[in-house]
Amino acid sequence: MAPVFRSSNFAGVLTEATDFFASINTSHKRDVNRFTGAGVYGLYYYGNNDLYNHCKNDGLGEEYPIYVGKAVPPGSRRGVDANDSDSCYALWNRVNEHYRSINSASNLHPDEFRFKAMVMHHPETDLISAVESHLIRIYCPLWNAVVDGFGNHTPGSGRFDQAKSDWDVIHPGRSFANKCRGVHNTEESIKQRIKQWKRVRLGS
């Protein structure tokens, strides 16, 4: 058996980060100026689509994200020093990308969403992936846990044989998704999984 590393401090750090994230107010993107940094973010739904009536936020009490994601500093995957992460626009650019996806969808509108972003500077940037995973475990956001594909990028050349993602099936409009030729899940099967998730979440 390989040696097992354990840290008595790690859980406390994740709890501290989660509490800080929960304390941040959500904002309409139109009200936020471009900012620098990398970190984690959440998208929150405030619209009237019946498909999401169980995860709609009303601005009262604790709010639950429909999607949680991260943006790491350039070069971090190659082990490049992240000291200059304070000046990058990784987090802003990723949120912006998501809003373009929402704007492309035929049955969603950017004004139905708000977001919160938690910037993490060096050396905390090394914790970005761990904090994102922890937030997903806590909140179980629908577009992370059930509806796959919201965070997808345009497939590379020659990769359009893959199936259209679940998100693109129920929210058609992204141009690259229409090029996917694989056999995708049906809209009805995806909606059934959403209903099952709803029953589990609401305990009904």
Residue 198's pLDDT is what?
A: 82
Give the count of domains, the chain.
1
* φ, ψ for residue 139, nearest 5 deg: -95, -20
Residue 56 belongs to a domain: yes
Residue 191 belongs to a domain: no
Residue 172 belongs to a domain: no
Whether the CB-CB separation of 108 and 49 falls below 8 Å is answered with yes
Residue 138 belongs to a domain: yes
Residue 3 belongs to a domain: no
Which tokens is 88 given? 């990058």
Q: What percent of the chain has pLDDT over 70?
A: 86
188 — pLDDT class (breaks 50, 70, 90): very high
Residue 199 belongs to a domain: no
Across all residues in the chain, what is the average pLDDT? 88
Residue 196 belongs to a domain: no
Domain carrying residue 100: 13-150
Residue 102 belongs to a domain: yes
Which tokens is 145 given? 């846990």
User: What's CA 44's distance to the chain center, in Å?
Assistant: 10
